Amino acid sequence: MKFDPASKIQDLLQFGEFGGVNPSITDSATYTFLQAKDMLDTFQGETEDYFLYSRHWNPSNKYLADAMAAMEGTESAWLTASGMAAITNTILQLCNSGDHIVTSITTYGGTFAFFHNYLKKFNIEVSFVDITDLKAVEKAINPNTKVIYTETVTNPMLQISDIPELKKLAKKYGAKLVVDNTFTPMIVAPKLHGADIVVYSLTKYVNGKNDLVAGAVCADQVFINSLIDLNAGSSMLLGPVLDPLRSSQILKNMHTLHIRMKQHSKNALYLSEKFKEAGIPVVYPGFKEHRGYEVFTKMLNSEYGYGGMLAIDMKTSDMANALMEVMEEKGVGYLAVSLGYFKTLFSCSGKSTSSEVPEEIQKDIGISDGLVRFSMGLDNDIERTWEMIHSSLTELKIL
């Protein structure tokens, strides 16, 4: 049977304690026990239906976690105060001093910095590879490799990770496959293709309003329990808990996510085709000539399209900056980092979201000085948007 993430969310019956159509928001930091034994059992991890302290669990976060697990097809999920917290907590739970990680060299700048700079203090070694080169991935695996880490669609080069094949390698060598699915909620469910753990920045598409910062870890119950173990859980002890009010906001927004992803994808495909027709170098994974098109097509839930992200190459940072400034003036969108917003966002990746990556590595992986990453908005009249972009290109004598 076809997996339908939107229906999985729709099927959840979550209502408030007084019959409200939305779940009640919990603003309690601590919770009452009517029997002392229940508190003792909860501290020992032997109960399931009790709330202890909001850093561990609270009802509002549990509602959203259940929705994330339903969307991803995992047994469970846990929420964090940011996407980076989801990534760092997951890695620190899986790895100890002396362990090794294989990861994509093309990845979000904050993730790159964590792997390349921060993990050194824990004596955790990281090998960076072209994640689309499976032979390179296997060659990089060592006896102490505990994790293969990637993004479904890499940031900002929009490469496609072959999750089923990466899972085969992870299983062969006894490693866990961790996949960041921030770019492609609804579009791909990595767990169904072999990922052991799926991480998210909920700040982006899932919430869709750029009015909060949040993250999620989706996995089996055993791993989630380990994350929030009172004595050894990274999330419990490092404390990146999401505020319940923010959880309730995101939960409501999840019920429109399927509609939004379809529109983001539709708009991105349209503009990518227009850029190509105009002779502007463009990268979009929905093009058949894209190297990862066939792999992506096999994994995606086709009704949601190929995603709302695209990139164009203006060759130089001066030209990229000039174009972005003119587009902002004309109302195309905002010169801003982040993605998944209802307005179009654009930024020069090498100088913004990938700035943590050293320039020599940027050049090696193809991030030019003029690479402009677009996060397409929910524009109702995308032809009008293209007219504004075309006018910007003409004004700068690019066309």
For the stretch 162-207, pLDDT in tens is: 999 999 999 999 999 999 999 999 999 999 999 999 999 999 999 9
Predicted TM-score (pTM) of the model is 0.95
Give the pair of three-digit tokens for residue 187. 């579009």
Residues in CB range of 171: below 8 A, 6 or more apart: none
Please give the residue that has the higher pLDDT: either 26 or 363.
26
Q: What is the reported pLDDT for 351?
A: 57
What residues contact residue 168 under an 8 Å CB cut-off, 6+ apart? 194
Query: Amino acid identity, residue 272?
Result: S
Q: Are 275 and 95 in contact (CB under 8 A)?
A: no
pLDDT at 358 over 90: no
> CA–CA separation, 384 vs 305, rounded Å?
21
Q: Could you give the 3-state DSSP secondary structure of residue 181?
A: coil
Question: d(Cα 313, Cα 325) in Å, to the nearest integer?
Answer: 16
What's residue 38's pLDDT? 86
Cα 12 from Cα 19, distance rounded (Å): 15
Q: How confident is the model at residue 15 (pLDDT cuts 50, 70, 90)?
A: confident
Residue type, 382: I
- For residue 179, give the 3-state DSSP assignment: strand
pLDDT (mean) for 294-300: 97
CB atoms within 10 A of CB 394: 12
Strand partners, 180: 151, 199
Separation CA 337–CA 369 (nearest Å)? 16
- Name which of 94-103, 205-214, 358-367 the model is least confident about: 358-367
Strand partners, 309: 375
SS3 of 40, please? helix
> Which tokens is 239 given?
């404390």
- Please give the span between the terminal C-alpha atoms of the chain, in angstroms, as a whole number: 48
Give the model's pLDDT for residue 325: 97
Q: What domains, with CATH codes, occur in the chain?
A: 5-254 (3.40.640.10), 258-395 (3.90.1150.10)
**Rounded-to-integer distance, Cα 321 and Cα 243, Å:** 37
